[in-house]
A and B are shown apart, each in its own frame.
Chain A
Amino acid sequence: MSDLEPFRIETRAWLEENCPAEMRKPMRSEDDACWGGRNAKFSCEAQKVWMDRMGAKGWTAPEWPSEYGGGGLSHEQAKILKEEMSAIKARSPLMSFGIWMLGPALLKYGTEEQKKHYLPQITRGEIRWCQGYSEPGAGSDLASLQTRCDDKGDHFEITGQKVWTSYADRADWIFCLVRTDREASKHLGISFILFDMESEGVSTKPITLISGRSPFCETFFDQVKVPKENLVGTLNKGWDIAKYLLTHERAMIGDAGDGGVGGRSIGQIAVDSLGSDAQGKLADSALRADLARAEIDGWSFMLTMERMKDEAKAGQGIGARSSMLKYYGTELNKRRYELLMASKGHAALEWEGEASRDGELPRMWLRTKANSIEGGTSEVQLNIISKRILGLPAS
């Protein structure tokens, strides 16, 4: 018995006792995802119970130190927790930009007070965060952002506009990149700051996407007063934090999609939909070849994610290779959804009605088109690989 076996047994027993039955069923739609926050909407009581219990144990952020509300688990223990959760098909207790993005930045750049104040609220799902990065004139060229943040003596004052702010209309607080020095070169005058979305002067406007959904907003700041202690890291050094976070975001977007939907391979989904010949092979042989290619690339990519994690654990940082994961993972996800659409034929086009759950598949398919744009376009990732990994000359 390995040293970790007692932990596994304990974890299994705890999950068995504490994970409500409803939270062991696959999510039916985006509404089943739990985001927490001051104005949290729970689709059922079990969702709240599950978030609260996991939050109290710090297992919403298993590897964060326990003094900041995390689980204090080692990487190996966190892996076991993940395995045991997936064994009972437990849903994620909390979706959170606070856990995925702000937390890692605060752990690295935050003051002790900031960590003690913000991190436990994040792990317990009390505060829902959004990210204020892109602006109308600063997309791929993020560092040219113009939202101004002026020093008014005892406070900062922020005026400007952000765009593509995920769920800004539902978030409680924002972590934001702002320009604090307009004279410096573009990378050197940026700061990273936190503030309450209920502050006077903040307004949001959802953007309706081609999927018909509105996960993103335009966000406006009109002379928003922000306390000085809300600055994270050094004034004018926010770009370092932004780069650090983008690395996290890229690895996360690349990680999306597990090769299938609900644990079935896309090839099997196609067989369910289109039927097979006497040997069990998909009847449409041209589609079958495309599916096999996607399976090969999907499996190889999944192994690459695994290898990068193992290498990181063995001390070799991922570094700019996160751009490779982001590029390949998002392009692959787009291919997968193209194949899912083909596999479901005309039924994949249904936009409304119970059978299609109001067009869940086509809306997801459309959503994947943003994968290779958000968090740095595929072309930006290829530029980063060329420059930072391959050392190709600048043009």
Chain B
Amino acid sequence: MALVLNEEEQMLRDAAKGFLSEKAPVGALRKLRDDDDPLGWSRDLWSQMADMGWAGILVPEEYGGIDYGMVGAGLIAQEMGRNLTASPFISTALMAVTALREGSVEQKEKWLPGIAEGKTIIAMAVDEGVKHDPAKTALSAVAHGNGYRLNGEKSYIIDGFDADALIVAARTSGEAGDEAGISLFIVEKDAVGMSSSRTKLLDARNYAHSEFTDVDVAGDALIGTLDDGFALLERVLNVGRVGLAAEMLGASEQSFDMTMDYIKERKQFGTRVGAFQGLQHRAAHLYSEIELVKSAVLKALQMFADAPEMSGAGAALAKAKAGEVAILAANEAVQMHGGIGMTDEYDIGFYMKRVRAAQELLGDYAFQANRLAVLRGF
């Protein structure tokens, strides 16, 4: 497929751009942070996004969604990145839906319509340590009665606080570090023995830490195949990785634009600082890097439909490159703004904090680079 947007995709992007810059700009995130909002995102806003079809963008039409696919989803994520919009889009609408699409008819009927309506929030509970490493899953699920009993902990669960359910990666056989022996379970919010608390990170978004003590779930809480959940988990994570890559692309573009505007106006030594070649060459380099990210992200988005067998490599590429460049863009933005870039009053710091988190989530540069090297045979 050509690496350009078609007319319909351009319309979707323009609609997202218009809506988000009006309803959910950086100021909205600042307010959520300053108000110490318990959720970290706005239910009212999410409901409006659901009305536009965004919550159900990957949900099949028979379950109330629009089943538009990942290219459109990526465009929305990109605009969310431009505006630093806080929402459960990547956690619920992209990742949880990807997992549930592989679930039973009963699971789909139970959860997907609520997600598409913007009423139900489901988060993926994967990581347990300080670095993303899904194969290291240790939280145990053992057969118990007609179902399973879960014990262990999950941390840094994206949008996991106050979620209606968690999709939990659990070890049903083998040992931490094995890809085999991992299974996915959906655990509802009110499950006995599960306690969750919010973890505040630098980006002011919603993350949870959950403890599972003899949490019993029924047999039908299993999503996909017992012991064989890693491939599905990887597909879910790849969707999330590319979603985050698209978000970071948008954040890079916006912080870059803000920086160019600034250095065209700011005067020192009697001239506009954007006239200095020392800044110009760095700006031109960063521009080039962002162009590369655009290509990698668009290709990775297209691969989910066009070349699913390549989507793991594509996700690694997009997440790595977008993360690297987003960090560069944020660092250059603060440096080129000078002192004002260090102030909380100015928005640029919000970009620096969000991309720092986003590049770490679901695997940082080194994680993705290692995956790609393995896939490329070295």
- Contact check, B295 vs A306: say whether CB atoms are below 8 A apart: yes
Count how many pairs of residues, one from A and one from B, have CB atoms less than 8 Å apart in the complex: 135
Partner of B295, one of A303, A313, A390, A393: A303
Partner of A307, one of B279, B294, B320, B377: B294
- In the bound complex, how far is the Cα of B275 from the Cα of A393, in angstroms? 5
- Interfacial chain B residues near A382, Cβ < 8 Å: 280-281, 284-285
Instruction: With both chains docked as a complex, state the minimum distance between the C-beta of A367 and any C-beta of chain B, in angstroms.
Output: 23
B105 contacts the other chain (CB 8 A): no
B277 contacts the other chain (CB 8 A): yes
Q: Which of B36-44, B61-69, B125-133, B366-374 contacts A (4 or more CB under 8 A)?
A: B366-374
B328 contacts the other chain (CB 8 A): no
- In the bound complex, how far is the Cα of B322 from the Cα of A296, in angstroms? 11
**0 or 1 for each of B1-17: is its CB under 8 Å from A? (1 = yes):** 01110000000000000
Instruction: With both chains docked as a complex, state the minimum distance between the C-beta of A141 and any C-beta of chain B, in angstroms.
Output: 15
Partner of A267, one of B264, B320, B366, B373: B373
Instruction: With both chains docked as a complex, state the minimum distance between the C-beta of B123 and any C-beta of chain A, in angstroms.
Output: 29
A297 contacts the other chain (CB 8 A): yes
Contact residues, A295-317 vs B (CB, 8 A): 295-297, 299-301, 303-304, 306-307, 310-311, 313-314
Do A328 and B376 form a contact, CB below 8 Å, given A383-B277, A390-B260?
no
- Interfacial chain B residues near A288, Cβ < 8 Å: 373, 378
- In the bound complex, how far is the Cα of B260 from the Cα of A385, in angstroms? 13
**0 or 1 for each of B348-378: is its CB under 8 Å from A? (1 = yes):** 0000000000000000001011101110111
**0 or 1 for each of A318-346: is its CB under 8 Å from B? (1 = yes):** 00010010011000000000000000000
- In the bound complex, how far is the Cα of B373 from the Cα of A268, in angstroms? 9
- Contact check, B2 vs A313: say whether CB atoms are below 8 A apart: yes
Do A395 and B298 form a contact, CB below 8 Å, given A300-B321, A307-B3?
no
- Contact check, A276 vs B378: say whether CB atoms are below 8 A apart: yes
B205 contacts the other chain (CB 8 A): no
Do A386 and B283 form a contact, CB below 8 Å, given A391-B264, A392-B263?
yes
Do A295 and B4 form a contact, CB below 8 Å, given A267-B378, A300-B317, A303-B299?
no
- Contact check, A304 vs B260: say whether CB atoms are below 8 A apart: no
- Contact check, A395 vs B378: say whether CB atoms are below 8 A apart: no
- Contact check, A328 vs B292: say whether CB atoms are below 8 A apart: yes
Q: Is the interface of B mostly helix, strand, loop or mixed?
A: helix
- Contact check, B369 vs A292: say whether CB atoms are below 8 A apart: yes
Partner of A268, one of B263, B299, B377: B377
- Interfacial chain A residues near B295, Cβ < 8 Å: 300, 303-304, 306-307
- Interfacial chain A residues near B317, Cβ < 8 Å: 296, 299-300
- In the bound complex, how far is the Cα of B294 from the Cα of A11, in angstroms? 34
A230 contacts the other chain (CB 8 A): no
- Interfacial chain A residues near B274, Cβ < 8 Å: 392-393
Residue ID in chain A nearest B281 by CB atoms: A382
- Contact check, A324 vs B369: say whether CB atoms are below 8 A apart: no
Do A292 and B275 form a contact, CB below 8 Å, given A385-B284, A385-B288, A386-B280?
no
B272 contacts the other chain (CB 8 A): yes
B335 contacts the other chain (CB 8 A): no
Partner of B298, one of A265, A293, A307: A307
A280 contacts the other chain (CB 8 A): yes
- Contact check, A379 vs B287: say whether CB atoms are below 8 A apart: no
- Contact check, B378 vs A282: say whether CB atoms are below 8 A apart: yes
- Interfacial chain B residues near A268, Cβ < 8 Å: 376-378
* Among A293, A390, A395, residue most surrounded by chain B Cβ atoms (within 10 Å): A390
Contact residues, A240-263 vs B (CB, 8 A): none
Do A328 and B288 form a contact, CB below 8 Å, given A268-B376, A288-B378, A296-B321?
yes
B296 contacts the other chain (CB 8 A): yes
B225 contacts the other chain (CB 8 A): no
Partner of A392, one of B283, B294, B298, B369: B283
- Contact check, B287 vs A324: say whether CB atoms are below 8 A apart: yes
* Among B3, B260, B276, B317, residue most surrounded by chain A Cβ atoms (within 10 Å): B3
Q: How many residues of B contact A (CB 8 A)?
A: 42
- Interfacial chain B residues near A321, Cβ < 8 Å: 291
- In the bound complex, how far is the Cα of B264 from the Cα of A299, in angstroms? 33
- In the bound complex, how far is the Cα of B378 from the Cα of A270, in angstroms? 8
Residue ID in chain A nearest B378 by CB atoms: A267
Contact residues, B219-264 vs A (CB, 8 A): 260, 263-264
B293 contacts the other chain (CB 8 A): yes
A27 contacts the other chain (CB 8 A): no
**0 or 1 for each of A261-286: is its CB under 8 Å from B? (1 = yes):** 00001011011000010011110000
- Interfacial chain A residues near B277, Cβ < 8 Å: 383, 386, 395
- Contact check, A267 vs B377: say whether CB atoms are below 8 A apart: yes
Instruction: With both chains docked as a complex, state the minimum distance between the C-beta of A216 and any C-beta of chain B, in angstroms.
Output: 27
A291 contacts the other chain (CB 8 A): yes
A289 contacts the other chain (CB 8 A): yes
- Interfacial chain B residues near A292, Cβ < 8 Å: 369-370, 372-373
A389 contacts the other chain (CB 8 A): yes
Partner of A265, one of B291, B369, B378: B378
- Contact check, B296 vs A310: say whether CB atoms are below 8 A apart: no
- Contact check, A289 vs B369: say whether CB atoms are below 8 A apart: yes
A394 contacts the other chain (CB 8 A): yes
Do A303 and B275 form a contact, CB below 8 Å, given A265-B378, A292-B370, A382-B284?
no
Contact residues, B271-315 vs A (CB, 8 A): 271-272, 274-277, 279-281, 283-285, 287-288, 291-296, 298-299
Partner of B260, one of A267, A289, A313, A392: A392
- Interfacial chain A residues near B271, Cβ < 8 Å: 393, 395
- Interfacial chain A residues near B276, Cβ < 8 Å: 395
* Among A270, A279, A296, residue most surrounded by chain B Cβ atoms (within 10 Å): A296
- Interfacial chain A residues near B283, Cβ < 8 Å: 386, 390, 392
- In the bound complex, how far is the Cα of B265 from the Cα of A393, in angstroms? 10
Instruction: With both chains docked as a complex, state the minimum distance between the C-beta of A78 and any C-beta of chain B, in angstroms.
Output: 15
**0 or 1 for each of B69-108: is its CB under 8 Å from A? (1 = yes):** 0000000000000000000000000000000000000000
Please give me the 10 A-B residue pairs with the lowest Cβ-Cβ distance, nearest first: A267-B378, A385-B284, A386-B280, A303-B295, A307-B3, A292-B369, A300-B292, A382-B284, A304-B295, A310-B2
12 further contact pairs, Cβ within 8 A, besides A268-B376, A280-B377, A288-B378: A267-B373, A267-B377, A267-B378, A293-B369, A303-B296, A307-B3, A327-B284, A382-B281, A385-B288, A391-B264, A393-B271, A393-B274
25 contacts between A and B (CB under 8 A): A265-B377, A276-B378, A282-B373, A288-B373, A292-B370, A295-B373, A296-B317, A296-B368, A299-B296, A300-B292, A300-B293, A300-B295, A311-B4, A314-B4, A324-B287, A324-B291, A382-B280, A385-B287, A385-B288, A386-B281, A389-B287, A390-B284, A392-B260, A392-B274, A392-B275
